Copies of this chain bind each other. A is one copy, B any other.
């Protein structure tokens, strides 16, 4: 008469806000090699623009030799490349800062991974040519609206310095995981900037402009800037490269477990180089052991998965911590680099569990 009900339990995103839509992935479901579109975190500043590809043209203008309008067909005719990479919101883990900061209170799930296919931005810029005084490439999205700090309407626009724009792996993508890019993730074209936090990977590209100055848009010079001081704007730094980081996916924080052997699992990633070591502590940081890295990365921009078998033989409360180190010897700090807008949190990951 009674049997377990299987398979009807489906994971879904965790809502942070609906207008604009901001939702994150429950970390226990980041277990695959790539994230399905339905579990891909969503981070927006404005309403979704609704675009069709039938009449889509990509303009490239500004400080170029020949301004051009590229049709989708022209773009599809250029040799493509596929890149597997981590996209992490620079506000990922913002909710963990102490003292707390304002803005979306992301926990640990504003991160994703998948295959993006498209053409190098460099290939398009070779077709337009770049003038001598060129300094930055501004990519504008179709999403726009009012910010809380101004009455003006802005589109979401970001610039890249020329060397990053011309990097062969900086692509104008048209497919995600072998499908057209989902509407909520940038259809029909999205800039993909490996190694940088995901604000750089502008969605729904409207136009690309080469400029001879430093771009001053609010998403460049107000947001996505590290402000180390609460009360002033001294010593600021732009948010760019992803910090070395790790997340414990299992067990969950504050979980109660039985005595016995448990697997502690998670992921680790970095914006520069590759992860070479993940250490785990089950005694609150007094001692550390190496976790086993269970997948060897094929590309340079992927997260690694790690696991650690823990003999939890004594009842009690345990603080479990993880610390990743990358090939540039960068490692996760014991306490986060606090900044007023809450970007780039990468302190040692920490959960507390109870064995009973």
List chain A positions with a Cβ less than 8 A from chain B.
1-5, 8-9, 11-19, 21, 26, 28-29, 47-52, 55, 100-105, 142, 148-149, 183, 204, 206, 252-258, 317, 352-354, 356
**In the complex the two chains form, what is the Cα distance from A55 to B183 in whole Å?**
47
**In the complex the two chains form, what is the Cα distance from A47 to B204 in whole Å?**
43
Q: A4-B50, A103-B256, A105-B254 are in contact. Are A13 and B12 (CB under 8 A)?
A: yes
Q: Using Cβ atoms and an 8 Å threshold, which residues of chain B touch A19?
A: 9
CB distance from A156 to the nearest CB of B (A): 12
Asked whether B51 lies within 8 Å of A2 as measured between CB atoms, the reply is yes
Q: Beyond the given A2-B204, A4-B50, A103-B254, please list 18 additional residue pairs across the A-B interface where CB-CB is below 8 A.
A: A2-B49, A2-B50, A2-B142, A3-B50, A9-B21, A11-B15, A12-B13, A14-B14, A15-B26, A16-B252, A17-B255, A100-B254, A100-B352, A101-B254, A102-B317, A102-B354, A103-B256, A148-B256
Q: A100-B352, A102-B354, A252-B17 are in contact. Are A148 and B4 (CB under 8 A)?
A: no
Q: Specify how many copies of this chain sit in the oligomer.
A: 2
Asked whether B148 lies within 8 Å of A1 as measured between CB atoms, the reply is no
**In the complex the two chains form, what is the Cα distance from A16 to B256 in whole Å?**
13
Q: Using Cβ atoms and an 8 Å threshold, which residues of chain B touch A103?
A: 254, 256
**In the complex the two chains form, what is the Cα distance from A101 to B255 in whole Å?**
10
**In the complex the two chains form, what is the Cα distance from A258 to B253 in whole Å?**
35
Q: Using Cβ atoms and an 8 Å threshold, which residues of chain B touch A204?
A: 2
Asked whether B9 lies within 8 Å of A12 as measured between CB atoms, the reply is no
23 of the cross-chain contacts (CB-CB < 8 Å) are A1-B55, A1-B142, A2-B50, A2-B51, A4-B49, A4-B50, A5-B47, A5-B49, A5-B50, A12-B12, A15-B28, A15-B29, A17-B255, A18-B28, A100-B352, A101-B254, A102-B255, A102-B256, A102-B317, A102-B353, A102-B354, A103-B256, A148-B356
